[in-house]
Chain A
Amino acid sequence: MKRPIKNVNLIIGGILVLAILITAGLSFFYTPYDPNRMNMGKRFQPPGAEYLLGTDQYGRDILSRVMKGAVNSLIVGWVAVGIGMGFGVLLGSLAAFWRGWKSEGVLRLMDVLYGFPAVLSAILITSILGPGMVNSMLAIGIFNIPIFTRLTRGASLSVWQRDFVTSARAVGQRNGVIIWGTILPNILSPLIVQGTVQFAIAILAEAALSYLGLGTQPPHASWGRMLNEAQTFMEISPWLAIFPGLAIAWAVLGFNLLGDGLRDLLDPKLSRTRR
């Protein structure tokens, strides 16, 4: 393992992500104002002492809404990546295990789903199921499955070839036990790294879906949706468009750097050409 001190990505990423987590956690106990409470007398306030980041078109405090938006993004990220990883690892393990045409079939299917633009599939899925937070989690989760399937399959395959697995099989250990006990622990590193990276992607996807009106519905705060509402009122108050976007970039940057840092930490082999 590399000395973490040289791992800038990990440190910066870690700090950014920690900030998001703390903000989100804090929002359960305290926000400067009720994020959904409207105040028509205080619309479009610029950032100042009374409202740190200003207010929106209904007089709601932007800082409080950004904090709640963090919770929204994190939950969607967790569930979506969870779905993707859960089903993906399952399918991928099976695919690695089966070989032959079944394995090829799964792979081909995943390729098809993988190639289709994720936004379009997410839009289609949310338009079938209807807009909303839960459905967008499902939609994003679904397009995460192919990614984890391929990753698991690829990584599992190489582990299957290893000596200790061959000997385990020779000894007569059941395949299920092998997969669970030996294969999976050995592919944990790439899974964690990819999971972190996909988390960042999920946050971006949720923001895009909410921007298009397909994600989290009003009045709940969602960074993407806040940007959508901000666009209508840009001439009156540019602040509305800046802070939610900044939050998205912060979160995605944090998780991306964290992912890179974890990759360097856990498996230097994966980053052979980069440093």
Chain B
Amino acid sequence: MLLPQAKRSSRPPGGRSSSPQGAPPTFFMTPVAYQFIKRLLILFATLLLVSGVIFLVLQVIPGDPAQIILGIQATPENLQALRHKLGLDLPLPVQYWNWMSGALRGDLGVSITYDVPISELILSRLAVTIPLALLSIFFAVVFSIPLGIYAALHRNRPGDYGVMVFAQIGLAVPAFWAGILLILFFAVYLQWFSAGGFKSWMESPLGALKSLLLPALSLGLIRAAVLARLTRSCMLEALGEDFVRTARAKGLAERVVVYKHALRNALIPVVTIVGLQMGELLAGAIVIENVFNLPGLGRLVFLAIGQRDLPVVQGVSLLIAFFIVLVNFAVDVIYGVVDPRIRAGSEEI
């Protein structure tokens, strides 16, 4: 994972718009319900906008798909016939409508390169990308949370500085370089792993897991750096809260105070951020899949762009965009419901 690795301020969930000063008309519904429906409408509008942008943007890519399929010797008649068959000669809005209505039904068209339904292609690739993403999150969380807690508890002491240094390095190292270094050490030098490639789940579940280990580690360690800092600051914030002082005053053991009370509160924004940064995880997966030559979604879209396989690029972009928008929406909603109090604190990363 390389791009905005953390420095983005988290989207202040809930009231980020500055308008709700005046109370909206609430004849028949509660303010919460109103907010929810408003958000839902915005969601649909966003999805529509996103799909439109993707569609338009990709029409601009040069290269005639019909020419590419039929090759050098194609006659103009054959080209025209294929263009007609692919529906490339219809007016743009009609093409868009056909595409979207098909997509909603689960039919994203057929890949030009492979001549297979795109939904099939995507599903088979998801079998690689999703486990990769999950494994990355697993590594990220397993490394970052304990480190963040440790740093918060040993604030301004060497341990804290150590964690902060780790965090800074993690932010600076590109994930694909981390991947290359891991390959260099574990595959080339130690020969414990292969330098890339993927054993399918069918053939060998353990082998598949092994192929995902180094890639997930590359992604996960980098994200861990970000999350460690976040955990630390959220813990510090939580530890400074009133309820912690109260708990201490009540005479509860320090451990209980820290883990049962402070941590639980601190984790809420952390989990939220993890959810919000799913998009970046996917983006990171694209590059990592290229480093390790994994047949996942990211590699699919990358190769498809190169091969000018427009339907595939459109389909995958749509999927990724929708997924991100939906995740953001879900996080927003849950957040607003769960704890409005913590909104302020999570501005910080």
Contact = CB atoms under 8 A, between A and B. Distances in A.
A272 B240 CA distance: 12
A227 B3 contact: no
Given A119-B3, A128-B60, A256-B171, A273 B188 contact: no
Interface stretch (B84-92, B125-133, B283-291): B283-291
Interface stretch (B106-114, B242-250, B317-325): B317-325
A256 to B, nearest CB: 6
A118 B4 contact: yes
Interface in A100-122: 100, 103-104, 107-109, 111-112, 114-120, 122
Contact of B173 (A100, A230, A249): A249
A53 interface: no
Interface stretch (B27-35, B70-78, B177-185, B257-265): B177-185
B214 to A, nearest CB: 13
Contacts of B58: 124, 128
A24 interface: no
Given A112-B50, A147-B8, A245-B181, A119 B287 contact: yes
A266 to B, nearest CB: 16
B177 A274 contact: no
Contacts of A100: 19
B302 interface: yes
Contact of B17 (A107, A230, A272): A107
Given A124-B317, A147-B8, A117 B283 contact: yes
Contacts of A92: none
A259 B349 CA distance: 14
B19 A211 contact: no
Given A227-B176, A273-B236, A252 B171 contact: yes
Contacts of A204: 2-3, 5, 174
Contacts of B4: 118, 147, 201
A81 interface: no
A128 B61 contact: yes
B231 interface: no
Nearest to A13: B168
A273 B233 contact: yes
A183 B279 CA distance: 33
Contact of B188 (A123, A234, A252, A257): A234
B243 to A, nearest CB: 17
Contacts of A234: 180, 183-184, 188, 195
Given A249-B172, A273-B348, A118 B177 contact: no
Contacts of B284: 119
B12 to A, nearest CB: 9
B308 to A, nearest CB: 9
Contacts of B62: 128
Interface in A104-161: 104, 107-109, 111-112, 114-120, 122-124, 127-128, 147, 157
B188 A238 contact: yes
B176 A208 contact: yes
Contacts, number: 166
A26 interface: no
B172 A252 contact: yes
Contact of B168 (A111, A241, A253): A253
A248 interface: yes
Contact of B286 (A119, A245, A259): A119
A244 B279 CA distance: 27
A120 B291 contact: no
Contacts of B206: none
Contacts of A235: 188
Contacts of B280: 117-118
A274 B287 contact: no
A129 to B, nearest CB: 9
Nearest to B313: A124
Contacts of A253: 168-169, 171-172
A89 B105 CA distance: 41
Contacts of A91: none
Contact of A241 (B8, B17, B181): B181
Contacts of B286: 117, 119-120, 123
A214 B63 CA distance: 17
B283 A120 contact: yes
A235 B194 CA distance: 12
11 contacts: A104-B19, A107-B16, A107-B17, A120-B320, A123-B301, A157-B18, A208-B3, A238-B184, A242-B181, A242-B184, A249-B174
Q: Report the 9 A-B pairs with minimum CB-CB distance, sorted nearest first.
A: A117-B283, A245-B177, A253-B172, A119-B283, A252-B172, A118-B3, A197-B7, A127-B305, A249-B172
Interface of A: 100, 103-104, 107-109, 111-112, 114-120, 122-124, 127-128, 147, 157, 197-198, 200-201, 204-205, 207-208, 211-212, 224, 227, 230-231, 234-235, 238, 241-242, 245, 248-250, 252-253, 256-257, 259, 271-274
